[in-house]
Amino acid sequence: MSFSELGWSQPFDLLEYFRAEYPPKWTPARVCSISHNSFHLIRPDGAFSAVVSGRLRFDAKDGGLWPVVGDWVAALPRADGSWTIQGVVPRANALYRGLMERGEPSQMMAANVDVALILSGLDNDLNLRRVERYVHLAKTNKIRPVIVLNKLDLSPDTEAVKVALAAFECEVHFVSALTGVGVDDLSAAIGHGQTAVLLGSSGVGKSTLFNRILGREAQRTSAVRDSDSKGRHTTTHRQLIPMPQGWVLIDMPGIREVGLPSAPDESTDATFPDIQALGGECRFPDCRHESEPDCSVQEAVKAGKLDAARLANFHKMRREVARQSSLGDKQAEVELKAKWKVIHKAQKEIYKRPKH
């Protein structure tokens, strides 16, 4: 297996980066899952476990990087055959969620993710407001959102759902993880070497789809409750596995509250391209589409061209993003600090040089 098949998709060579940055014995590997203090890693010749080195643990307390699922790390073999993680390779991006409800900063869920597969089950009424939140999560984290409607075998009439999702301007796939219908097309929509993550409520069929694409039962699944078709939170930890199709998939536990991560106020614009386009016609360039005069967005709602519930969610999400942003973003601060450390070090080197 190559690094690309393990999901290395940054525009520089991983081995060259290691040669330039790390001691010769440090080897690149990717974090597949984490249980307590044990990190399950994969590299081209196979899987192995490692613990975080004392140094990295110490640095993390002092604002250094801590590895999460999807991270590329530098692993070092010890004399007794065990491994330690010595460093974390700078991330291309990361999937954050907000924890405003708990009054906590945004939390990193996975690193180096290219595609978010936003799953809903056609056995339940489609919760458009929730899908808007997932799309936002993806877009603010620079991840391509792909909306997936699963359980097509239970509800083959897709027209109404297609109409309801048109405003999202997102790629949409209808699949049945159970029968396999639509799964090859979905897989083909994900590029070679990309990393995709499964997002959605418990019971929508994330793990069933994961197993279907992988071709074996790697993840446990369990039936939804008869009373309301809700899941039982069967998957309890994040799991990354390279798929035989040449890309990488991360199965996730079902998300209860889709909290929005801290981000600039305008971040909701990309999530609501229809509202953004209408907003270009408002009288005031900084119109908030609330009660301003000559607001094209409000007019579109009155004319039945824009769903009032969608606009209400736009407002709600904007307020939530602002509140979460005031709570900050721990890991992002850590990354920024690490970046500045490197810059300051480089500056010091420059000042140390003799002046001519």
Ligand X SMILES: Nc1nc2c(ncn2[C@@H]2O[C@H](COP(=O)(O)OP(=O)(O)OP(=O)(O)O)[C@@H](O)[C@H]2O)c(=O)[nH]1
Question: Which residues would be at the binding site for ligand X (CB under 6 A)?
Answer: 150-151, 153-154, 176-178, 200, 202-208, 221-224, 231-235, 253-254
Site string for Zn ion, 80-119 (x = CB under 5 A): ----------------------------------------
Q: DSSP characters for 263-329? A: --TTHHHHH-HHHHHHHTTSSSTT--SSS-TT-HHHHHHHTTSS-HHHHHHHHHHHHHHHHHHHH-B
What's the rounded Cα separation, in Å, for the pair 133 and 257?
10
**Unique residue bearing structure tokens 């409750």:** 225
Q: Does 106 contact Mg ion by CB under 5 A?
A: no
What's the rounded Cα separation, in Å, for the pair 89 and 213?
28
Q: Does 187 contact Mg ion by CB under 5 A?
A: no
What's the rounded Cα separation, in Å, for the pair 101 and 320?
10
Nearest residue (CB) to ligand X, 47 versus 223: 223
Phi, psi of 93 (to 5 degrees): -165, 180
- The residue from 151, 173, 212, 289 that contacts Zn ion (CB under 5 A) is 289
What's the rounded Cα separation, in Å, for the pair 211 and 189?
18
Q: Kindly indicate which of the ranges 38-46, 59-67, 113-121, 279-287 contains the residues binding Zn ion, using the contact rule CB under 5 A.
A: 279-287
The entry of ligand X, Mg ion, Zn ion, none that residue 287 binds, CB within 5 to 8 Å by partner kind: Zn ion
Nearest residue (CB) to ligand X, 204 versus 263: 204
- The residue from 137, 170, 295, 301 that contacts Zn ion (CB under 5 A) is 295
Q: Does 235 contact Mg ion by CB under 5 A?
A: yes
Nearest residue (CB) to Mg ion, 33 versus 235: 235
- The residue from 27, 53, 86, 207 that contacts Mg ion (CB under 5 A) is 207
Q: Does 282 contact Zn ion by CB under 5 A?
A: yes
Measured from the CB of residue 287, what is the shortest distance to Zn ion in angstroms? 3
Q: Kindly indicate which of the ranges 29-37, 228-236, 279-287, 316-324 contains the residues binding Mg ion, using the contact rule CB under 5 A.
A: 228-236
Measured from the CB of residue 260, what is the shortest distance to Mg ion in angstroms? 23
The entry of ligand X, Zn ion, Mg ion, none that residue 297 binds, CB within 5 to 8 Å by partner kind: Zn ion
Tokens in use for 272? 């609501």
Measured from the CB of residue 254, what is the shortest distance to Mg ion in angstroms? 7
**Unique residue bearing structure tokens 């967005």:** 297
Measured from the CB of residue 222, what is the shortest distance to ligand X in angstroms? 5
What's the rounded Cα separation, in Å, for the pair 113 and 9?
10
The entry of Mg ion, Zn ion, ligand X, none that residue 153 binds, CB within 5 to 8 Å by partner kind: ligand X
What's the rounded Cα separation, in Å, for the pair 306 and 297?
8
3 state SS of 222: coil
Nearest residue (CB) to ligand X, 142 versus 220: 220
What's the rounded Cα separation, in Å, for the pair 148 and 171?
9
Q: Kindly indicate which of the ranges 183-191, 288-296, 308-316, 317-325 contains the residues binding Zn ion, using the contact rule CB under 5 A.
A: 288-296
Size of the site for Mg ion (CB under 5 A): 4
Nearest residue (CB) to Zn ion, 153 versus 292: 292
3 state SS of 236: coil
Distances 230 to 115, 127, 209, 233 between C-alpha atoms, Å? 25, 13, 17, 9
Q: Does 208 contact Mg ion by CB under 5 A?
A: no
> Residue 287 contacts by C-beta under 8 Å, 6 or more apart in sequence?
279, 295, 297
CA angle 251, 257, 263 (to 5 degrees): 90
Which residues lie near Mg ion (CB under 5 A)?
Answer: 206-207, 234-235
Which residues lie near Zn ion (CB under 5 A)?
Answer: 282, 287, 289, 295, 297
